[in-house]
Structure 1
Amino acid sequence: MSDRDRAAWQRWIDGRAQDSFRRGQAAASAGDGPTALFWLDRAARMARDNTHVALALGMAQLSAGRWAEALATMDRLSASCVLREALFGQAVACLRLGDPMGASHILGRALSRFAPAPAVHAMAAQVAEAAGAAGWCGVEGGGRVLGLSTGAVTWRLRRSASAGGTTRWASGFPGDLPASWRDADWLDVLADGRPLLGSPADLRAIRRSEGVVQPAEGGVEGWLWHPADPDHVPVLQIEGEQGAAMHLTLTVPATDVDTDVPLARPRRFFVPTDQLPEGTLRFLDGYGAGISGSPIDRGLIRLFDAPVRRAPERPRRRSGTQPIPAVRPRAAGWLVIVPAYRDLPKLRACLQSVFDTMPDGVEIMVVDDATPEPALARYLDRLAASGRITLRRQDRNAGFPSAANIGLRAAAGRDVVLLNSDTIVPRGWLEGLRHVLDAEPTIGTATPFSNDASILSYPSVKVANPPPDRRETQRLADLCARLPLRLDIDLPTANGFCMAIRGDCLAQTGLLREDAFAQGYGEENDFCCRATALGWRHVAATNVFVAHVGGVSFGAARRALMRRNLRILNRLHPGYDAAVQAFVRRDPLFEARRALDGARLRQACGRKRSIAMLLHDSGGGVARVVRERAAAFEHGGLFVLTIRPDTTGCRLICAAVETDSLVFRLPAEWPQLLGLLRDLRVQSLEWHHLIGHAPMMRGLHQALAVPYDIFIHDYVWFCQRVSLLGPRERYCGEPSPEGCAVCIAEVGSYLGETISMPDFLARSDRELRGARRLMAPSGDTARRIARHFPDLTVDVLPLEDDAAWPDIRMMTRGFARRRIGFVGGIGAEKGYDVIRALAEDAQMRDLALDFVVVGHTPDDEALFETGRVLVTGEYRESEVMSIIRDLHIEIGFIPSITPETWCFALGVIWQAGLPCVSFDLGAQAERIRRTGRGWTVPLGMPASALNNFLLRL
């Protein structure tokens, strides 16, 4: 499956999720709770990371009184974003579940950080009473205090380290705070000396704003809101250099903001250039805090008023006739610059790794970008006092470019490294970077491999990689240092997480542009573009690996700032995006990543022998069997590899080692594949499926001179359509080879190759007889293989223990109609048309039958239109039992119209304690007859007769 295929699949899934969400919202608005729950639950499974869907589901569960489920949903939501509705929902669920203390703990946390909406006032009073609290309180964005108390109320405004005065409200709530609350950090509210739920209130959280400002054609634009009190109308202040200021009250909703926060209510603004003050502009919220993208130089606005220049896709490399950049002698030593703002544990780990690996002649400068964490500031003070670091501090938080520039100004000709405070460096990292910078006089920057470094990420450049711990970082770094270093690959940009800059390159190129890139993102890219224009090169230090812990999920303002800065970057350097995209398409670092992947596999394999398992790229039951057999092989001491087809050849995978670049173009890279497999001491192969593989993979065992075993999953050995599904979308009955040829001529083959039936069967016969061992999951499958290939011995290896399932029990009916359940992905051969016919007959005759597909189908909508079918959407294995239970399914049905070789869906139904119906063919019928855990019916039984049968059970 190609990346394009996967993207198309994801778009299909997303479309179904959006449709389900809309239906759920409509049902909730109409007061139809059960229908809303079904659709929102379906949407949540299809869009598991969507916070908007999760909140809607949680609210529907609360409305339905499903307290435990609502609590679980709100817990998951709160783990991904801090949302007041989720916290209040958790408190309600805890209270209804008989846990008033848990409810009061959650409610207190919510009230401390969020303004209480009117809808929660009564609930807050109930929780406070049930928990024996003195009452509750909360602060709105305008400084009004709301609440309820059992006694006389006093309050105290204070900063984090000091206490202010107190006052008493004789009249109770509500009350307005004095103007000094804008400078306070905490508000203590007490009743007769006892703190109320919500006290102390975190005033910094209440005042916090989120927003962004960016230059636009004809002016500036952006949005702003206060997440703790979405109803509070934000105020935007604009200050010029001469003290001139504007105040704008923002009331127009910003509907196009990319936010993960449900119920967000940002407001938009646009200010024309001629209304703006002169000079560099600062944009502040109503409390005086700067917003992302501020300050803005008016020159940036003029940049967006100018027409866009076009540029070539790739930066022009310096030719042999162009002069080498004017280079002044570099000073000795290093300056390592670490801007710091939040997260003391990560900063401490970073600096400790630097201290432990620092060679002589290195100065470590930490720039405190006005941290809000007192413990972090004290930690830096101690390090500075001991002489381990040079410490510089900013008066206000200005962002990475400003903090980095403080250090860059102190370089004095030395080579520098800009190092994020959430990195872990290994032994030899600076020496490796210096080796690269010294390799050629025109190399200006060097960036190492990392788990999180965009185009320099490893193992994958496409998906997020988990950060390695310090031990694994050192192991990766040691391997990198032993691999060949290529310096002929020019990067379009370095990456600022760990960016080594030659002192002479820095001196010639200048500082980062904090005037253009505000709080950061894109500033190192701009630096590199300027350096490239001067003739400097940017290369990958593939001999070094530095861990980047990262892990911060960007909020809407951060994402908007990134988009803003990327627009500015492309205006300043037309063609930048195209250059990066061209680099990604060429992927010149692929060979380096693959070499590192191979080295890691060799190291992990050690002295073990290996087995390689060949399978297709379609997942499903085959992939499950491979996983389970791989686990057994590993338990037996083998090193296990799997080989899947790729669009250009094949991909080698090892579950024990996270890799992404072991892709081999075939036939061109056949020797490299064989070389790696020999290095890994592959002693045998196990064929599971060869569909999608290059033809030469059928001879891999011969090239390696090893035996192979075959595990038979389907009928690909004698059916070019794999599943015995004939031209009329029915079981074909396994005709003669001539009949098969007619079928293929009419509806085509799934093999991905053109081969006549005689040649196809002869090849299958040869390969089956050449195998060391043949295995099949059921006796039915073994007998079918034997009919087509006589005298073969096929070992039957059941994939599950049918004697271990729980006892059958008829589910208590939860609805007026009996519910019949189907499990898994239901396509044509799995019985989609059967389900549709059953539903249409039940609807036409108004039978007391409904049908539930626990899974998905190719056309859910056609089933929905019958009014008799629910389709849950994709599920995880851990969820399926609860889905079956919650939807009150009484009887399972395997509607497959071709013979199954095993059928994991049958095991799911039996695990749920349900009896099952199937047609009388294949492993499904064999297992039901052997265990007596259900019924078999004739294949082709009319839908009306089948429905009558289901009603009689």
Structure 2
Amino acid sequence: MVFFISLFKKFFNSVLGVIYHHLPVSQELKNKTKKKLFETIPFLFKSTRAFKSWEKNNKITMTVDELPLYLPSKTTRADRVSAEKIQVDIIIPIYRGLQQTKNCIESVLNSHFKTLYRLILINDCSPEIELTNYLRELTVKHSEILLLENSTNLGFTATVNKGMSLSDSNDVVLLNSDTQVAGEWLDKLKTHCYSQKRIGTVTPFSNNATICSFPDFSGCKQIPFNLSVSSIDQYFTQANYGRSVTIPSGVGFCLYIQRGCLDDVGLFDVETFGKGYGEENDFCQRAYLKKWRNLLACDTFVFHEGEVSFQETSNPRKQKALEIIAKRYPEYQNEVKDFSIQDPAAPFRIAAILNILKNDRRPKIISILHSLGGGTEQHVSNLVQNLKSQALSLLISTEITDYGVQVSRVKFIDEVLGFDLKFPTTDIDFITSLLSSISPSGIHIHHQLGLQFNAKQLIQKLNLPFVMTTHDYFYICPYFTLTQGDNYCEEPNPSSCNQCIAKSYPHGAKDISLWRDSYSWFFQNAQTIFCPSVDTLARYQKYFPKANFTMVYHDNSLTNLNINSPEVKINTPSTKEDYFRIAILGSLIQHKGLNILKDLLTILKHKKSPLHFHLIGDIHGPWKSFSSKIFTTSGKYKNQELPQLIKSYDPHLILFLSRCPETYSFTLSSALAEGRPIAAPELGAFPERLQGRSWTWLFPANISAEDLLNFIEKIYHDNFLTRKLPQLPSYTSSIQEIKIHHFDFYFENYLSYFRNKNEK
């Protein structure tokens, strides 16, 4: 019966694999189907890597009890098993690399551990005479060093076997000559080795150690944040003292081997693995078969430069070693893959990163935002990247994964130490503990849409100063675009607002006054409220008159806005051209003009016109098919691709169709940067950002499709064909004497808002 069940599982998974990879249906439908099957009949899939990967991505295997693993360890030295009487032979095989070898040996001699040790240096017939002389001189100065010299080059495997055979009682550490150690590294490795029964090998974290690499499996060439080996090892100790993870194999750059395991398993297999690579994996697999375990010491970090001695021949040896290991131990590669998917050491890597951030001198800012991307995410990313020399930022949001699992998300943006952590809880106490572990300086609320934890509680528990940015009108109305149907709602009285929200009770709102009151605390207590345009500030000030507002454009300078700049490039079609090219930028959704464009194109297809519309972006919502003679689209793009996409289409006019009052508009910034003629609604941030600009038109906010088409055809005939300059658009602010800042304001003033309240 067991055999038939197993056979059925294999058959079912094979059929499912073919369907999933070859059936011509959308990825969304495939994901939904996979989620349903994995949740309904998990017993059929639990052994597959696809299921394990799905579990990992959705954090189903992580319980609330496991969440403290991301927080600093509470284990103390008093809790650890003592193994003081065990002596250790530190064996360093040496062939090339004078400076790397010096760094390695000096790091061992300068470490502060209590373990009794002997440092065995084995010169494997090095071709570098300076290296040989250095080793000989060193033994004169240090009695704890034993130097052996091979008369011929034996290679790594035979050389370390020679060292391991010098004692029949000492534990051993195999240490590559291009590593650097620090602090109590040896004490920690030895303590791990005797913390549980039958621990055969222990490997520390490193920047270059395959499955034991940090900050992820790919590792990094240099230690992040320019930290010393001593500092980063200390941070690992503080974060993860006493923590370990069982691994499929130890890694030979720094491998602690218990003598009992060595006696039971035997030395490395020189005959098979020759001069090196794969011998430690073979040893660990032989140990595993004899019920010994391999551990990753999560509280220890050793720097590893990598392949100094064998860099010319390492790749062929690696390939041959992999083939041998795969043949001898058929399940080994699957075990490594499963380990990589489950990644049980991930919490300890992140705990170490959080401790590194805590000890960094730069202020740490917690940014709260939604998970929908768009302009909010773009501004946050710009802010984080531009201020990273002054401050570090941790981003937190709540989101629903592709498989419908609600998670809290904490993200750190960095080229090396960046991480993206999702965990299945909105418990304010845990979130507070996690965030407080970096010793934050303040909080920046960018958005609270979809947030499943109480931001006010978080601020109060952390007792930190905070600021806010108004990226849309979420705090004024749960319909945060301020649109009713296809048009701007014009912000009517509360009674009319209540009639509007009663249609669907967006975000649970039932009364507009209660909605605004629920966020009044933030406006009353924030150090300041950043508004990205004068128009945005004016709207918010009507509802929260006592708040301290600061107006800061999202872009860097006046030149980026093209205010008072020289005349922009005019792309006038020649008489031979058939089309007047009009570009629309960004995702097209209802409040961005989806329906008005659809109606306009419906009219256009029945008349003869030179107009051609091209959407640089994607469509979200019901759409019709139109001839490519009047409409084309590029599809979704990445922000950095937009300038080239504009150049490729080479539009005569860039048209903005937004039906809501934009607070800023990054796509407008791109249009301005390209120096193109622009037409936009006289609403939101458009008028103030386009005031006084040549070859620019503003049209009524709630214009109909027919009137807009007539408007475009008119400027085509009156201005583009005749090259007659249009009247410059003007703007008058409803707020007098407001100070306007640009993005550079953040460089000088941003961090001042997060000083201790007593300092302000």
Above 0.5 in TM-score? yes
CA distance in structure 1 between the aligned counterparts of 2:331 and 2:376, rounded to whole angstroms: 52
Is 1:490 paired with 2:246?
yes
CA RMSD of aligned residues (A): 5.0
1:940 is aligned to 704
CA distance in structure 1 between the aligned counterparts of 2:617 and 2:409, rounded to whole angstroms: 30
Q: Is the CA contact 1:649–1:667 (under 8 Å) kept in the aligned structure 2?
A: yes
* Superposition map of 1:829-844 within 5 A: 829-832=591-594
1:361 is aligned to 118
Residue identity in the other structure for 1:720: P
What TM-score do you get using the length of structure 2 for normalisation?
0.65
Equivalent residue in structure 1 for 2:200, among 423, 437, 444: 444
CA distance in structure 2 between the aligned counterparts of 1:864 and 1:699, rounded to whole angstroms: 51
Equivalent residue in structure 2 for 1:807, among 566, 573, 580: 566
1:764 is aligned to 519
CA distance in structure 2 between the aligned counterparts of 1:730 and 1:514, rounded to whole angstroms: 78
Q: Is the CA contact 1:590–1:661 (under 8 Å) kept in the aligned structure 2?
A: no
2:738 is aligned to none
1:280 is aligned to none
CA distance in structure 2 between the aligned counterparts of 1:870 and 1:449, rounded to whole angstroms: 49
What TM-score do you get using the length of structure 1 for normalisation?
0.53
Deviation, structure 1 residue 719: 3.6
Is 1:533 paired with 2:273?
no
Residue identity in the other structure for 1:948: E
Is 1:660 paired with 2:419?
yes
Q: Is the CA contact 2:104–2:177 (under 8 Å) kept in the aligned structure 1?
A: no
Deviation, structure 1 residue 631: 7.5
1:906 is aligned to 668
CA distance in structure 2 between the aligned counterparts of 1:593 and 1:578, rounded to whole angstroms: 18
Residue identity in the other structure for 1:355: I
Distance 1:936 1:580, change over 3 A: same
Distance 1:578 1:767, change over 3 A: same
1:128 is aligned to none
2:444 is aligned to 686
Q: Is the CA contact 2:192–2:242 (under 8 Å) kept in the aligned structure 1?
A: no
Deviation, structure 1 residue 862: 8.3
2:458 is aligned to 700
Deviation, structure 1 residue 726: 5.1
Distance 1:669 1:659, change over 3 A: farther
1:776 is aligned to 531
Q: Is the CA contact 2:571–2:676 (under 8 Å) kept in the aligned structure 1?
A: no
2:379 is aligned to 625
Deviation, structure 1 residue 902: 0.5
Residue identity in the other structure for 2:676: L
2:716 is aligned to 951
CA distance in structure 1 between the aligned counterparts of 2:118 and 2:275, rounded to whole angstroms: 31
Deviations 1:895-929 (A, max 9, x none): 32322111122122112222211123221244224
1:302 is aligned to none
Q: Is the CA contact 1:443–1:536 (under 8 Å) kept in the aligned structure 2?
A: yes
Secondary structure, in 3 states, of the residue corresponding to 1:922? coil
CA distance in structure 2 between the aligned counterparts of 1:678 and 1:543, rounded to whole angstroms: 17
Is 1:737 paired with 2:497?
yes
Residue identity in the other structure for 2:468: I
Deviation, structure 1 residue 777: 1.6
Deviation, structure 1 residue 558: 9.8
Equivalent residue in structure 2 for 1:404, among 134, 157, 160: 157
Deviations 1:374-427 (A, max 9, x none): x9767766667768875669989xxxxx84355235411454444556644445
CA distance in structure 2 between the aligned counterparts of 1:886 and 1:579, rounded to whole angstroms: 45
1:156 is aligned to none
Secondary structure, in 3 states, of the residue corresponding to 2:685? helix
Q: Is the CA contact 1:802–1:931 (under 8 Å) kept in the aligned structure 2?
A: no
Q: Is the CA contact 1:601–1:657 (under 8 Å) kept in the aligned structure 2?
A: no
Q: Count residues in correspondence.
A: 600
Secondary structure, in 3 states, of the residue corresponding to 2:591? coil
Distance 1:688 1:488, change over 3 A: closer
Q: Is the CA contact 2:94–2:121 (under 8 Å) kept in the aligned structure 1?
A: no
CA distance in structure 2 between the aligned counterparts of 1:948 and 1:430, rounded to whole angstroms: 79
Q: Is the CA contact 1:678–1:704 (under 8 Å) kept in the aligned structure 2?
A: no
Equivalent residue in structure 1 for 2:682, among 879, 903, 920: 920
Distance 1:542 1:662, change over 3 A: same
% same residue: 21
Is 1:571 paired with 2:330?
yes
Secondary structure, in 3 states, of the residue corresponding to 1:361? strand
CA distance in structure 2 between the aligned counterparts of 1:556 and 1:831, rounded to whole angstroms: 56
CA distance in structure 2 between the aligned counterparts of 1:668 and 1:789, rounded to whole angstroms: 30
Residue identity in the other structure for 2:377: A
Deviation, structure 1 residue 763: 1.4
Q: Is the CA contact 1:460–1:660 (under 8 Å) kept in the aligned structure 2?
A: no
Structure with greater contact order relative to length (CA < 8 Å, sep ≥ 6): 2
CA distance in structure 2 between the aligned counterparts of 1:921 and 1:628, rounded to whole angstroms: 25
Distance 1:350 1:426, change over 3 A: farther
Deviation, structure 1 residue 530: 2.7
* Superposition map of 1:36-51 within 5 A: none
1:351 is aligned to 101
Deviation, structure 1 residue 597: 2.8
Deviates more, 1:613-622 or 1:733-742: 733-742
Residue identity in the other structure for 1:530: R
Equivalent residue in structure 2 for 1:459, among 181, 201, 215: 215
Q: Is the CA contact 1:821–1:892 (under 8 Å) kept in the aligned structure 2?
A: yes
CA distance in structure 2 between the aligned counterparts of 1:824 and 1:639, rounded to whole angstroms: 30
Residue identity in the other structure for 2:682: D
CA distance in structure 1 between the aligned counterparts of 2:391 and 2:334, rounded to whole angstroms: 51
Q: Is the CA contact 1:337–1:365 (under 8 Å) kept in the aligned structure 2?
A: yes
Deviation, structure 1 residue 531: 1.4
Gaps of 5+ in 2: 1-19, 25-46, 53-84, 110-116, 140-146, 400-405, 721-760
Residue identity in the other structure for 1:593: R
CA distance in structure 1 between the aligned counterparts of 2:544 and 2:692, rounded to whole angstroms: 26
CA distance in structure 2 between the aligned counterparts of 1:555 and 1:807, rounded to whole angstroms: 60
Secondary structure, in 3 states, of the residue corresponding to 2:367? strand
CA distance in structure 1 between the aligned counterparts of 2:324 and 2:428, rounded to whole angstroms: 41
1:649 is aligned to 408
Equivalent residue in structure 2 for 1:712, among 447, 456, 470: 470
1:869 is aligned to 632
Q: Is the CA contact 1:605–1:680 (under 8 Å) kept in the aligned structure 2?
A: no
Q: Is the CA contact 1:593–1:661 (under 8 Å) kept in the aligned structure 2?
A: no
Secondary structure, in 3 states, of the residue corresponding to 1:490? strand
Q: Is the CA contact 2:368–2:396 (under 8 Å) kept in the aligned structure 1?
A: yes
Deviation, structure 1 residue 700: 1.6
Distance 1:556 1:533, change over 3 A: closer
Distance 1:886 1:537, change over 3 A: same
Q: Is the CA contact 2:206–2:219 (under 8 Å) kept in the aligned structure 1?
A: no
Q: Is the CA contact 1:363–1:390 (under 8 Å) kept in the aligned structure 2?
A: yes
Q: Is the CA contact 2:157–2:274 (under 8 Å) kept in the aligned structure 1?
A: no
Q: Is the CA contact 2:239–2:299 (under 8 Å) kept in the aligned structure 1?
A: yes
Secondary structure, in 3 states, of the residue corresponding to 2:454? helix
2:735 is aligned to none
CA distance in structure 2 between the aligned counterparts of 1:539 and 1:367, rounded to whole angstroms: 29
Distance 1:776 1:572, change over 3 A: closer
2:260 is aligned to 504
Q: Is the CA contact 1:444–1:538 (under 8 Å) kept in the aligned structure 2?
A: yes
Deviates more, 1:379-388 or 1:811-820: 379-388
Deviates more, 1:384-393 or 1:571-580: 384-393
Q: Is the CA contact 1:613–1:642 (under 8 Å) kept in the aligned structure 2?
A: yes
CA distance in structure 2 between the aligned counterparts of 1:356 and 1:819, rounded to whole angstroms: 69
